[in-house]
Amino acid sequence: MKKVFPVAVVIFVLLALGACAGGRLNELEALSINNPDEAGELCIDELEEAGRPNEYELNETEVPNFFDDSDEMMRIYFSADWPAYASIEELTTRAAGIVRAEVLDERVEWLNFFIDHPPEIDPYRPYTVYRIQVLEVFQGDVAPGDILEVAQRGGQLDNMWMINQDKIPIASGDDLVFFLNSVCASFPAGFMTPFQGVYRFPDGDTRSLNDDEELESVHPEDVSSYLILTLTIGDLLQIQEENRR
């Protein structure tokens, strides 16, 4: 006989990361700092230069569904307290890389995003990892044609289904501008925020479009309008020019 047990365990984890000016730690900054051997010194240096915020708060609600004795699926609903930047200028200052890229494909794998955790908590969670091919560089030590990996929490592996309530809707073939918290080949980068870090590039070439052409923000549903920043082609050209000096 199939039994269903309504179990909900709410886990609040507050990670103190040391004093530093402004913002909160992005999920993959925590992941990279926690795995320096894998992430490489380049990633760590970039995160240090961007400034490591002083705390990061996440909220996970675990809802086990016991289908039968052999098939147990754990659903975890995830949300977090993300940084919010007041302007494109502030977002640019904090970003390690700003690129226009095409999304090639995606996969789900286990990644460790905790800097520190109680021994009873398994630090690994499913992440969706996207391979992107750089089309144009506005900021950062990468070149057109480079293939990078970016990731956001969420996906299903084995008996765990991580449901990211802040998931950015991204699909293969998308032509997007990414504001990234790190740029290196040895470890996936993260988005600066789920609601200010990704923009859809309009049809056409950067130099052929009007400076006041606005890019569509790509973000989760139900995001407050005051959090959405306006990014224009002129902004990208200015960022690109300033980084050439």
CB contact at 8 A, 30 and 115:
yes
Would residue 134 count as lying in a domain? yes
Would residue 197 count as lying in a domain? yes
* Residue bearing the bigger pLDDT, 148 or 59: 148
Mean predicted confidence (pLDDT) in 11-39: 33
Model confidence at 198: pLDDT above 90: yes
pLDDT of residue 49: 44
When mean pLDDT is compared across 8-12, 204-208, 231-235, the lowest value belongs to: 8-12
Would residue 185 count as lying in a domain? yes
Would residue 20 count as lying in a domain? yes
CB contact at 8 A, 196 and 217:
yes
Mean predicted confidence (pLDDT) in 39-49: 41
CA dist., res. 191 & res. 184, Å (int): 14
Model confidence at 70: pLDDT above 80: no
Phi and psi, residue 195, nearest 5°: -115, 0
When mean pLDDT is compared across 18-22, 104-108, 179-183, the lowest value belongs to: 18-22
Q: 183 lies in which domain range?
A: 9-244
Length of the chain: 245
pLDDT of residue 113: 59
Distances (CA, A) of 99 to 34, 104, 175: 25, 15, 11
Would residue 56 count as lying in a domain? yes
Number of domains in the chain: 1
DSSP track, 195-224: TTSEEEPPSS-GGGS-TTPEEEE---TT--
With H, G, I as helix, E, B as strand and everything else as coil, classify residue 201. coil
Model confidence at 22: pLDDT above 60: no
Q: Is the pTM of this model over 0.75?
A: no
Structure tokens at 6: 């309504």
Would residue 3 count as lying in a domain? no
Would residue 73 count as lying in a domain? yes
Would residue 122 count as lying in a domain? yes
When mean pLDDT is compared across 21-35, 80-94, 143-157, the lowest value belongs to: 21-35
pLDDT of residue 81: 79
